[in-house]
Structure 1
C-alpha cells in the first residue's frame, strides 16, 4: 500500500501503516495467518515463499525481517537474531510452534465435540444457554476456528427444550436461518420465554385462588354444621324439658 508521498510499500514509513499482532505461546496459527496477509499486502510474501529459481530481493527481505521483528516478543527476537533471512526466521518460528499447533488442533476437536453435545437444561434460561455457546465460540477463536452465524443459530434452536418447540418451528418456517444472526435468534426466544413465564405465573395465581375458595367453602360448611348441631341440641333439650314432669306433680297425681 503506497504512502501519501507515493512511496512503494517497502519504502519510507510503510511499516507503520500496519499494526502487527504479537506472537504468543497460544496464538501461532492466527498470528501466522495475519502476518502472511500483511506481507502479501506489501508484496513481501515472496521472500518467504519465493518462486522456483527466483532470487529474493535484498531490500524486500530486510523489510520482511523488520515486519517479523515487530510481530515477535523480545525474548524470541534474541532467539532468532542469528537468522540471516526472513524465510529462516519464519521457518524457525514454525518449527518452534509446530507442537503447540498440534495441541491447538486437539483442543479444537474437543471444543467441537463439546459444542455438538451442548443442550439447554430445564433450569437454564436462554441467556445462560447462550453464554455457554459464546464461551465455546471464544475458546474456538483462540485456537483459530471461527463458527458461522448460521451454525450458531441452528445450534441454539436445536439445543432448547421441547417447551420452545412452537417458536422454533415458527422461526424455521417463516425466517431465513441462513441470514439470521445469533443475537436475533436469542431475542426471539427470550420474548417467547417471557410469555411462558407470564402464562405460568397466571396459572399459578388461578390455582391459588381455586384452592383458597375451596378452603373457604369447606370452612363455611363446617361452621354451618356446627351451628345446626347446637340448634338441634338446644331444640332437643327444650323438648325434653317440656315433657319432663317434676316429682311434685307426680305426687299430686297419685294422691
Structure 2
C-alpha cells in the first residue's frame, strides 16, 4: 500500500477530503506537477490553471496553494521568472496586428492564445481592453467603415468581445462575397474584350496592312 505521505489527497473520517500539497524540490518537478494537478482539482481550483478563469477568489486560492508547495528559497526566483515572461507576453500583445492575409478567426485565435498564457501567469486581460486592442489592430483599408460604425453605435466598455467578433465576421463574409462578385465581373469583361479583339482582327489588318492571307491581284 502506498505511503499516505506521498498521496496528495487523504480522507478524514466522517469529513471532507483533506488535501495535502506536495513540496517542490530541485529534482522532483515531474512528479510534483502530477500531484499538484490532482490536489488542485480536488480543491476545485484547477480551472485557474487550465483553461484559466477570471474568478478572483479561485485565483487567490490557487496562488495560496502553490505558495504552500514551493520552498521560500524558490519563491522569489519563480516570481522573477514569472514577471519576465509576463512582460514579454504583454509586449507581444501590444505589437500583434492582423495581417492582410489573415481572417478574423485566425487573428482572434492569436489574441486568445496570448490572453490564455497571460491568465496562466496571473494576469487577466479584461474584456474592454481586449475589444479596444482587437478593433485597433484590424487593417484600416478593409475594416475602417465597420470599425467606425461600431465605435459610434456601441459602448465598447460594456459590449462583449464575442459580440464584436461576431459583427466583424458577418462583415468579413459580406465583403468577401462582394469581392468575389467583382472579380467575376472583371473576368467577364476581359473575356468580352478578348472576343472583340479577335473578331475585328481581319478588319483592322485588312486596310493597307499585311494579313495572314493573300487576295487576288498581284502575282504570287
Superposed CA deviations along residues 155-176 of structure 1, whole A, max 9, x for unmatched, are 1100000110000000000012
Matched, 1:142 2:120: yes
> What is the distance in 2 between the residues matched to 1:153 and 1:133?
10
The TM-score with structure 1 as length reference comes to 0.57
Q: Which residue of 1 aligns with 2:15?
A: 13
Q: Which residue of 1 aligns with 2:97?
A: 119
The TM-score with structure 2 as length reference comes to 0.66
Q: Which residue of 1 aligns with 2:186?
A: 207
C-alpha displacement of 1:98: 2.1
The number of equivalent residue pairs is 173
Matched, 1:33 2:60: yes
Matches within 5 A, 1:180-219: 180-219=159-198
Give the 3 Å change call, closer, same or farther, for CA 106–31 of structure 1 in structure 2: farther
Question: RMSD between aligned alpha carbons?
Answer: 3.6
> What is the distance in 1 between the residues matched to 2:62 and 2:205?
92
Q: Secondary structure at the match of 2:119?
A: helix
> What is the distance in 2 between the residues matched to 1:32 and 1:169?
37
Give the 3 Å change call, closer, same or farther, for CA 211–112 of structure 1 in structure 2: same
Q: Secondary structure at the match of 1:201?
A: helix
Matches within 5 A, 1:89-168: 90=68, 93-162=71-140, 163-168=142-147
Superposed CA deviations along residues 224-250 of structure 1, whole A, max 9, x for unmatched, are 45788799944x57xxxxxxxxxxxxx
